């Protein structure tokens, strides 16, 4: 796949895993046998191809010739043409590749994992910007009622906002996986092929019924194009761009913005952080923290909402008002409810 040198190897050389290109092929076959998604396979394939090209340019053909210093130089060279996120992607690919070498015992017994000596490149994870409710309302207002495309786009925006589904999950969804009576939605093709259950509200169910009523094709897909073909990721991205342009939104919304809007609105509604983790299909709370990052203004409002001192003094005022019921007085100060255990967890998750 990577080099014509594979054909020149002997059976002994392949079994020892000498050639980088041949071993990379075996690694990709292993990943494919594990039924990883085609996007993950493409991710590994592209980064390994770049690494092998760098090895060939430096006259390296065998795994035994690679050193920690060579890997560091590769990451530095890679960073000259790619952003920090890309460099970290290259690092993760080689880390998985060398871990596989150790696990499969491809190399000699005295060989050690070189990536253990190479420090992971730093990458600054900027907070994911959510789409505002006003922005969603503006997008929906551009969707013409009674028109197939208008009804479809309106249903898509409401569906994304209600479920927090990833764009590719929405594209891969089939009609049989949605129960419009209960609002239950089974996502069977999530990231890492994980299955999870999400739910849509009454408004979204009505929008879905209005859209599906205008369907006359036989496609099993939930969302289709005018030709009845399954809606693709690029098609979904383009329709959002068209709607944003018609709505004259100053900040161009991203598909992932619906996902973060879902997470933040769930958090503000008091949903437990672990329930939210399951709804979003995250295996680690660390990933969820990026979605729940609070800017200074949001952080200030959250602190004011759950302020224990405000709750304490509101209780004192309420008691004083009850003690003087025989005298004319204004309506007692409405007490702020004390923070619940799950809200304090949410507050801790959004810290830093």
Averaged pLDDT, 271-288: 73
Q: Is the pLDDT of residue 4 over 50?
A: no
Greater model confidence, 67 or 265: 67
SS (H, E, C) 128-178: CCCCCHHHHHHHHHCCCCCCHHHHHHHHHHHHHHHHCCCHHHHHHCEHHHE
Q: Is the pLDDT of residue 351 over 60?
A: no
Residue ranges per structural domain of the chain: 4-117, 133-283, 296-349
Helix axes 255-268, 133-141, angle to 10 degrees: 130
Is-above-0.85 flag for pTM?
no
Cα angle value 193/167/97 (rounded, 5°): 45
Token pair in block for residue 110:
């005295």
Token pair in block for residue 135:
């922005």
pLDDT digits (tens, 9 = 90+) for 44-54: 999 999 999 99
What is the spatial distance between Cα 239 and Cα 241, in angstroms, rounded to a whole number? Answer: 5
Is residue 173 within 8 Å of residue 223, measured between CB atoms? yes
pLDDT at position 303, please? 56
Determine the CATH number of domain 133-283.
1.10.443.10
pLDDT digits (tens, 9 = 90+) for 287-321: 666 666 654 455 555 555 545 555 555 555 666 55
Distances (CA, A) of 227 to 172, 332, 348: 17, 62, 48
pLDDT at position 280, please? 78
Q: How confident is the model at residue 234 (pLDDT cuts 50, 70, 90)?
A: very high
Is the domain covering 4-117 a CATH 3.40.718.10 domain? Answer: no
Q: Beta strands 196-199 and 184-187: pairing type?
A: antiparallel
Question: By C-alpha distance, which of 73, 80, 66 is closest to 19?
Answer: 66
Q: How confident is the model at residue 286 (pLDDT cuts 50, 70, 90)?
A: low
pLDDT digits (tens, 9 = 90+) for 89-107: 999 999 999 999 988 877 7
pLDDT at position 177, please? 93
**% pLDDT > 90, the chain:** 44
Question: By C-alpha distance, which of 240, 283, 293 is closest to 263?
Answer: 293
pLDDT at position 3, please? 47
Question: By C-alpha distance, which of 118, 237, 219, 107 is closest to 168?
Answer: 237
For the chain, report the end-to-end CA distance as a whole number of angstroms: 45
Q: How confident is the model at residue 12 (pLDDT cuts 50, 70, 90)?
A: very low
């Amino acid at each position: 796949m990577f080099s014509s040198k594979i054909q020149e190897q002997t059976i002994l050389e392949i079994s020892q895993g000498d050639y980088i290109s041949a071993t990379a092929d075996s690694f990709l076959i292993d990943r494919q046998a594990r039924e990883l998604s085609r996007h993950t396979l493409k991710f590994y394939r592209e980064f390994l191809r770049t690494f092998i090209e760098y090895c060939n340019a430096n006259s390296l053909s065998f795994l035994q010739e690679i050193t920690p210093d060579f890997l560091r130089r590769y990451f530095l060279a890679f960073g000259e043409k790619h952003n920090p996120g890309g460099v970290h992607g290259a690092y993760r690919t080689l880390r998985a590749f060398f871990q596989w070498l150790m696990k499969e015992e491809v190399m000699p017994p005295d060989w050690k994992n070189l990536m253990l000596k190479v420090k992971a490149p730093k990458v600054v994870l900027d907070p994911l910007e959510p789409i505002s409710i006003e922005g969603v309302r503006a997008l929906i207002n551009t969707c013409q009622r009674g028109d197939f495309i208008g009804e479809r786009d309106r249903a898509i925006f409401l569906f994304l906002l209600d479920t927090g589904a990833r764009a590719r999950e929405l594209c891969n969804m089939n009609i049989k996986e949605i129960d419009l009576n209960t609002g239950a939605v089974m996502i069977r093709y999530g990231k890492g092929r994980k299955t999870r259950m999400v739910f849509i509200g009454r408004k979204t169910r009505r929008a879905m019924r209005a859209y599906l009523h205008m369907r006359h094709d036989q496609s099993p897909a939930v969302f289709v194009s005018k030709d009845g073909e399954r809606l693709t990721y690029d098609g979904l991205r383009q329709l959002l761009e068209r709607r944003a342009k018609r709505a004259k939104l100053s900040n161009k919304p991203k598909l992932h913005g619906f996902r973060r809007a879902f997470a933040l609105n769930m958090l503000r509604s008091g949903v437990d952080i672990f329930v939210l983790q399951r709804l979003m299909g995250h295996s680690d709370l660390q990933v969820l923290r990026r979605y729940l990052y609070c800017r200074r203004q949001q952080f200030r409002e959250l602190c004011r909402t759950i302020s224990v001192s405000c709750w304490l003094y509101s209780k004192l005022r309420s008691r004083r008002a009850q003690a003087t019921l025989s005298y004319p007085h204004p309506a007692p100060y409405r007490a702020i409810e004390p923070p619940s255990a799950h809200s304090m967890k949410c507050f801790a998750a959004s810290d830093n």
